[in-house]
A and B are shown apart, each in its own frame.
Chain A
Amino acid sequence: NAGVMQNPRHLVRRRGQEARLRCSPMKGHSHVYWYRQLPEEGLKFMVYLQKENIIDESGMPKERFSAEFPKEGPSILRIQQVVRGDSAAYFCASSPFEGNMNTEAFFGQGTRLTVV
Chain B
Amino acid sequence: DQQVKQNSPSLSVQEGRISILNCDYTNSMFDYFLWYKKYPAEGPTFLISISSIKDKNEDGRFTVFLNKSAKHLSLHIVPSQPGDSAVYFCAANSNFNKFYFGSGTKLNVKP
A residues whose Cβ falls under 8 Å from a Cβ of B: 4, 6, 31, 33, 35, 41-45, 48, 55-56, 59, 91, 93, 97, 102, 104-110, 112
A-B contact count (CB 8 A): 58
Q: Does B45 contact A (CB under 8 A)?
A: yes
Q: Are A102 and B93 in contact (CB under 8 A)?
A: yes
In the bound complex, CA of A106 to CA of B46 (Å): 7
Specify which chain A residues have a CB less than 8 angstroms from the CB of B93 in the assembled complex. 102
Q: Does B44 contact A (CB under 8 A)?
A: yes
Query: Which A residue's beta carbon lies closest to that of B93?
Result: A102
Summarize A's interface: helix, strand, loop or mixed: strand
CB of A109 to closest CB in B, whole Å: 5
B-side interface size class: 20 to 34
Q: A48-B97, A110-B43 are in contact. Are A104 and B34 (CB under 8 A)?
A: yes
Q: Are A56 and B97 in contact (CB under 8 A)?
A: yes
Query: Which B residue's beta carbon lies closest to that of A106?
Result: B46
Specify which chain A residues have a CB less than 8 angstroms from the CB of B98 in the assembled complex. 33, 45, 48, 56, 59
In the bound complex, CA of A59 to CA of B104 (Å): 19
CB of A66 to closest CB in B, whole Å: 17
Partner of B43, one of A4, A44, A45: A4
Partner of B31, one of A56, A102, A107: A102
In the bound complex, CA of A1 to CA of B93 (Å): 25
CB of B19 to closest CB in A, whole Å: 19
In the bound complex, CA of A31 to CA of B100 (Å): 15
CB of A93 to closest CB in B, whole Å: 8
Chosen A-B contacts, 24 in total, with CB atoms closer than 8 Å, are A4-B43, A42-B6, A42-B101, A43-B89, A43-B101, A43-B104, A45-B98, A48-B97, A55-B97, A56-B98, A59-B98, A91-B43, A93-B43, A93-B99, A102-B32, A102-B93, A104-B34, A104-B46, A104-B49, A105-B34, A107-B43, A107-B44, A108-B43, A110-B42
